[in-house]
Amino acid sequence: MMNLNKSNIPLALVLVVGMAFAAWFLLPSTAQYLISTTGEESKGSQLRALWNLLLERTRPPLQLAADAKIEYYDGVTGAPGVNTFLHQEVESSKRERQLQMIADAGFRWIRQPFPWYDIEVSAKGNYSDTRNGIEAWAKYDNIVDLAEKYDLRIIARLEAPPAWAHQGYKDLGTLGPPADFNDFADFVAATVTRYKGHIRYYQIWNEPNIYPEWGEQRSNPEDYAKMLCAAYMRAKQIDPSVVIIAAALAPTISQDGGGFAGGGLNDLIFLQRMYNAGAGACFDVASAQGYGL
């Protein structure tokens, strides 16, 4: 009769369990289970995946704080949304068809540009579309009416100055910021005034940390913060209930602000510099693009 030293019992158990696992692991009937469980086909990858699964299942649960209250909940917060560019569609019937399809697909939000250059076209305070002999607001009124018809919430993206707002600043491109941030703040105020009670959510600009959304120049979070704060103050004066959303920042790795041809500034660096410049008090909701996630 073989005598086992007590100190060898754990080793013997490990060997027995290991041999049993190896036999199970190599069984032909186990192959499909391993593929479906791990998503891997090679034995080595399956073994690593099983080890990681074991670690995950035996790891202590994370100690998480309670979910923060959603301050701006309005019954559809968290519902899916989609970008739209309805201002580029000439016919109202086609805009309506798009919004009908969007609603039928289960979306409850649209993020729709309200380009400054298309509304205050030829001069400060002039909201006539002299290019086409119509009121510049008419198209956007139609978009708002149709969105309400199909129970869609609008995030109005305010951006893109008209030529007159670039006085002496044209070399920076059509998407660059205006020469006077107060001109943009006045446009924001006019938009909030017109759609008070119809649009609650406004996003100030789009992707100012990458080219060419801040024009033919380096990204400048300090200047964006100034413009954002000017817009925020005017919007809240008109309607304190509006929700101001900071521009969606685009993921990028450049740490120096880029140049004039495709450069940008890392979104986290841009955001930190925004906060350093005092922008934290000038928006209600932060936003980020999900590219690459």
Give 29's contacts (C-beta < 8 A, 6+ positions apart).
none
Q: How far apart are CA 194 and CA 199, in angstroms?
A: 9
Q: How far apart are CA 78 and CA 196, in angstroms?
A: 23
Domain boundaries, the chain: 7-58, 81-281
How far does Cα 93 stand from its chain's mean position? Answer: 29
Which residue's structure tokens are 């930190």?
Answer: 272
Task: Walk along the chain (293 residues) in steps of 10 and give the mean pLDDT of each run.
Answer: 58 64 70 79 81 82 80 76 95 97 96 97 91 90 98 97 79 82 98 98 96 86 97 98 96 73 82 97 93 65
The DSSP string of 120-159 is S-SSTT--EETTTTEETTHHHHHHHHHHHHTT-EEEEEEE
pLDDT at 252: 87
Q: Is 151 left (phi over 0), alpha (psi -120 to 50) or beta?
A: left
Angle between helix 92-104 and helix 138-149 axes, rounded to 10 deg: 30
Q: How far apart are CA 289 and CA 94, in angstroms?
A: 28
Question: Which CATH code is given to the segment(s) 81-281?
Answer: 3.20.20.80
Question: Across-strand partners of 83?
Answer: 111
pLDDT at 293: 55
pLDDT at 36: 80
